Chain A
Amino acid sequence: NAGVTQTPKFRVLKTGQSMTLLCAQDMNHEYMYWYRQDPGMGLRLIHYSVGEGTTAKGEVPDGYNVSRLKKQNFLLGLESAAPSQTSVYFCASRGHNNSPLHFGNGTGLTVT
């Protein structure tokens, strides 16, 4: 099993550019999440989804949008990238409440 796969692995954007990060899971999980990881700040939840067609805001949603059109995919979009969005982004999924989160290996994003 591939588990949780994130693409791309790395990306450099200029301020104002847009991009979409793709997350795919093959475990038939209901819940999917996007986190960002910054030094000294841990993992902060951006958006999440409790099922196909649903999305909800997390702790730091501003500047990001998400879509969950298919159960196995969760897309994170940046419409107009800003240097403050330079971070490592992690996607995760879980099957039900309080089951282990399965993380992808992250996408490193630099906005210049």
Chain B
Amino acid sequence: QQQVKQSPQSLIVQKGGISIINCAYENTAFDYFPWYQQFPGKGPALLIAIRPDVSEKKEGRFTISFNKSAKQFSLHIMDSQPGDSATYFCAASRETSGSRLTFGEGTQLTVNP
């Protein structure tokens, strides 16, 4: 049972374009929504995270948009660069869950030069 659904599975964007990855969750008790970035041969690393008390969080070229009523959140990468080519995972957890993150299926992003 997948509690966090992510789309698209793969995404190809031209350099300078906007990359958008979407996630939807089921459990309304989730209160922490991070995005992880993974390069080939490496483990995932935290990119940016949001809590449901805000609707948007921006760090450099990366922005999370959060829609609590729709139970959806998305990652926007502005001015996408070839170095952004990686696999991106959304995730969600509850503060009191014993600290277990539930991950989405992942999106393989390719940014063409």
Give A residues with C-beta under 8 Å from B.
4, 31, 33, 35, 40-45, 48, 50, 56, 58-59, 90, 92, 94, 96-98, 100-101, 103-106
CA distance A30 to B44 in the complex (A): 19
- Cβ B99 vs Cβ A94 within 8 A: yes
- Cβ A92 vs Cβ B98 within 8 A: no
Sorted from nearest, which 5 A-B pairs have the closest CB atoms? A103-B43, A100-B46, A43-B103, A42-B105, A42-B103
B42 interfacial contact with A, CB 8 Å = yes
CA distance A14 to B3 in the complex (A): 33
28 sample A-B contacts, Cβ–Cβ < 8 Å, listed by A number:
A31-B99, A42-B6, A42-B89, A42-B103, A42-B104, A42-B105, A43-B106, A44-B103, A48-B100, A50-B99, A90-B43, A90-B44, A92-B43, A94-B99, A96-B99, A98-B32, A98-B49, A98-B95, A100-B34, A100-B49, A101-B36, A101-B46, A101-B101, A104-B43, A105-B41, A105-B42, A105-B43, A106-B43
- Cβ A97 vs Cβ B99 within 8 A: yes
- A-B contacts, CB under 8 A, total: 59
Give B residues with C-beta under 8 Å from A.
6, 9, 32, 34, 36, 41-46, 49, 89, 93, 95-96, 98-106
Most B CB within 10 A of own CB, among A41, A48, A97: A97
CA distance A50 to B98 in the complex (A): 7
Min distance, Cβ A74 to any Cβ of chain B, angstroms: 14
Min distance, Cβ A50 to any Cβ of chain B, angstroms: 6
Residues of A within 8 A of B36 (CB): 101
Min distance, Cβ B91 to any Cβ of chain A, angstroms: 8
